[in-house]
């Protein structure tokens, strides 16, 4: 460790890396699980009354009255206050994200003939009801609304709703309401945190119960999803933000420092690492960060300082680029930005990451807002087995098959052998000579 405020791990003389560097804030949810249990139970028992209580106690709502469902008047007022340039940005993002997810949507159905007379296929259907969670605690996130609601509308989910924490005045962020209306989502509910997850799991007088919830959230949201995983599908495991900026010696440290700040400014529970084999870049980034922080708004700079000077972020110097790649794959970051001489070639070396952004003209900021691929990504090493949020997360597959009379005897003979071998007499009898099959007319 250095004496600088930015944590510096010099691994240039070692072959591996300490396993504790892989940890995130959400790695140990025990304290959060204990805290959300009574919240979940109160929402289950009291419904809307509990949501109103937690809006005041946890979200700091001071308004004397608050409707849980956003009204049409609130939508109209949101359009009146959004600046034209912000409106243009929201529309630009919606167009790109919609085009990407429309291309991603699977066929309604497909079928192949696996043997003569044996047909099998899939039908792809939208899930009946999905809730999109849009966080609010450390800012306003119409971008998250775009990333969660657009694939849901492309998939054709019949009941697609939004849950999001209210501000102190009991209102929803104007940008979120504008994006929702532009996308076609009419139902936005003012509840956040564990109470929102409980509301869509059990339903309240106002909030409908849903089959699934998607979207990123705090460790409290992650804990609630885990506890309620047997009641509703918790979706892609998306917790606090995390990123790795992976570089060789070719990058400008000033640029790399800019991009390291992006995810670290989300909040003190985020994770952000510069991973490099270049001491020049490592030292240069450490110096450049101070300059960038001095030019930033104080709150966000403070979040970034806390992350990069804490347990879950900083600078890692490896002995060579192979070691930097090895750490990146072990970490399995939510966001990965590759700043090297040939990022497309280096992409082939990455196995575990939610998204990979290639080159100096593709910072994480663009991926978060406007490029098209989904920015709701697996966190806490879940990228080893999970994928980004997509149209597929709002759909389900139903397999089907049909066997012709001519193909039945051979298929039945093999199936009966399987059933006898595995000891299932009923299975075997159903495809044995006992089955009263209609006679096939000669052709």
Catalogue the active-site residues.
Answer: 334-335
Alpha carbons 254 and 316: distance in angstroms, whole number: 17
Residue in this structure with the two tokens 């309401």, named with its chain if needed: 177
Q: What DSSP designation does 69 have? A: B
Question: CA nearest 155: which of 129, 177, 178, 133?
Answer: 129
Round to the nearest angstrom and report the end-to-end CA distance of the chain.
Answer: 84
- Measured in degrees and rounded to the nearest 5, phi and psi for residue 78 equal -65, -40
For residue 372, give Cα distances in angstroms to 108, 134, 244, 271, 390.
Answer: 22, 18, 20, 24, 11
Question: CA nearest 339: which of 359, 363, 366?
Answer: 359
Dihedral of the alpha carbons of 364, 367, 368, 372, in degrees to the nearest 10 = 180
Q: Are 27 and 379 in contact (CB under 8 A)?
A: no
- Measured in degrees and rounded to the nearest 5, phi and psi for residue 103 equal -70, -25
CB atoms within 10 A of CB 373: 19
Q: Are 194 and 221 in contact (CB under 8 A)?
A: yes
Instruction: Produce one character per residue of 319-336: b if its CB has 16 or more CB atoms within 10 Å, e if not.
Output: eebebbbbbbbbbbbbbb
Alpha carbons 274 and 378: distance in angstroms, whole number: 19
Residue count of the chain: 443
Q: Ramachandran region of residue 215, left (φ > 0), alpha (ψ -120 to 50) or beta?
A: left
Q: Give Cβ neighbours of residue 68 (< 8 Å, ≥ 6 apart).
A: 48, 51, 52, 189, 190, 191, 204, 206, 207
């Amino acid at each position: 460790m250095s004496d600088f405020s930015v944590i510096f791990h010099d691994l240039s003389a070692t072959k591996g890396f300490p396993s504790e560097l892989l940890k995130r804030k959400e790695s140990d949810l025990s304290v959060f699980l204990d805290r959300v249990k009574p919240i979940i139970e109160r929402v289950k028992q009291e419904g809307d009354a509990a949501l109103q209580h937690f809006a005041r106690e946890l979200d700091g709502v001071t308004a004397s009255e608050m409707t849980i469902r956003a009204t049409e008047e609130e939508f109209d007022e949101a359009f009146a206050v959004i600046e034209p340039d912000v409106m243009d940005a929201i529309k630009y993002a919606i167009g790109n994200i919609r085009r990407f997810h429309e291309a991603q949507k699977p066929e309604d159905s497909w079928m192949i003939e696996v043997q003569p007379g044996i047909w099998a296929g899939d039908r792809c259907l939208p899930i009946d009801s999905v809730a999109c969670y849009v966080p609010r605690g450390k800012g306003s996130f119409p971008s998250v609304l775009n990333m969660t609601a657009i694939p849901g509308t492309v998939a054709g989910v019949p009941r697609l709703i939004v849950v999001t924490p209210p501000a102190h005045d009991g209102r929803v962020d104007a940008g979120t309401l504008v994006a929702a209306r532009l996308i076609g989502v009419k139902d936005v509910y003012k509840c956040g945190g564990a109470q929102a997850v409980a509301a869509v799991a059990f339903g309240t007088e106002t909030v409908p119960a849903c089959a699934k919830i998607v979207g990123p959230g705090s460790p409290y949201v992650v804990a609630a999803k885990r506890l309620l995983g047997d009641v509703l599908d918790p979706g892609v495991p998306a917790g606090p933000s995390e990123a790795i900026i992976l570089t060789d010696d070719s990058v400008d440290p000033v640029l790399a420092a800019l991009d390291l700040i992006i995810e670290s400014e989300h909040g003190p529970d985020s994770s952000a690492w510069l991973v490099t084999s270049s001491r020049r870049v490592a030292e240069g980034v450490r110096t450049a960060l101070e300059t960038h922080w001095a030019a930033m708004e104080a709150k966000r700079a403070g979040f970034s300082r806390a992350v990069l000077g804490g347990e879950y972020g900083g600078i890692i110097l490896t002995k060579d680029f192979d070691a930097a790649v090895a750490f990146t794959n072990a970490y399995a970051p939510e966001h990965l930005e590759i700043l090297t001489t040939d990022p497309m070639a280096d992409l082939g070396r990455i196995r575990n990451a939610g998204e990979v952004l290639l080159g100096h003209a593709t910072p994480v900021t663009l991926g978060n807002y406007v490029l098209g691929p989904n920015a709701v990504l697996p966190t806490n090493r879940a990228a080893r087995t999970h994928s980004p949020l997509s149209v597929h997360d709002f759909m389900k597959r139903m397999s089907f098959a049909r066997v012709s009379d001519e193909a039945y005897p051979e298929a039945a003979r093999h199936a009966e052998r399987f059933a006898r071998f595995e000891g299932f007499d009923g299975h075997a009898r159903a495809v044995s000579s006992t089955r009263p099959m209609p006679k096939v007319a000669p052709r």
